[in-house]
Amino acid sequence: MAIGERIHFFRTMRGMTQKYLGMALGFPEKSADVRLAQYENGSRTPKADVTAALAQVLDVSPKALDVPDIDSYTGLMHTLFTLEDNYGLKISEMDGEVCLKVDVRKSKDSARLHEMLCSWQQVAAMLEAGEISKEDYDKWRYHYPEFDATQKWAKVMSQRLSDMLLTQMEGEE
């Protein structure tokens, strides 16, 4: 999610108008809403000092506004927080283990995320059961959604998926 989308999310969550937030940042009343609209629609990117000021006014960490860097633990956590905000991802505990769940009632997007995660879980279960190889599992992951037969938008199974499954089944005989 881009920084503009994050600004919009937190601004609306706080019940602020673009004009109010822009004025709180010190922009002139006449252009405050225009400036915020430019940030939110991505036609302008706020500099580091403006991002820091936005974070302060919105009462969030500047990292919560940044485009996530999943190569750091903090960036990864903020990515997960964004998934919670937008897709109903919830942290939970099951059998003494921390787990992530999707609240499918949150939105159409959360229901779609749930479907995609279920597809992933099915393929992972096939790997665990020895029904497919690690190579086939990795092909599924690294070419997603090409090999995902559960996609609702897919009219027919792709030729590559058909060939992969046929090869796999022939190898089991």
At 58-93, the pLDDT tens digits run: 998 888 888 777 778 988 898 899 889 888 899 999
Tokens in use for 105?
């009632």
In this structure, the chain runs to a length of 173
Q: CA distances (Å), 72 to each of 63, 78, 85, 87, in order?
A: 11, 10, 20, 22
Per-residue H/E/C for the chain: CCHHHHHHHHHHHCCCCHHHHHHHCCCCCCCHHHHHHHHHHCCCCCCHHHHHHHHHHHCCCHHHHCCCCCCCHHHHHHHHHHHHHHHCEEEEEECCEEEEEECCCCCHHHHHHHHHHHHHHHHHHHHHCCCCCHHHHHHHHHCCCCCCCCCCCCCCCCHHHHHHHHHHHHHHC
pLDDT in tens, 90-137: 999 999 999 999 999 888 888 888 898 999 999 999 999 999 999 888
- Cα–Cα distances (Å) from 44 to 1, 3, 21, 39, in that order, read 15, 10, 16, 5
Q: How far is CA 74 from CA 71, 145, 160, in A?
A: 9, 28, 38
Q: Phi and psi of 42, rounded to 5°? A: 85, 5
Res 169 pLDDT > 60: yes
- Whether the full predicted model's pTM is greater than 0.85, yes or no, is no
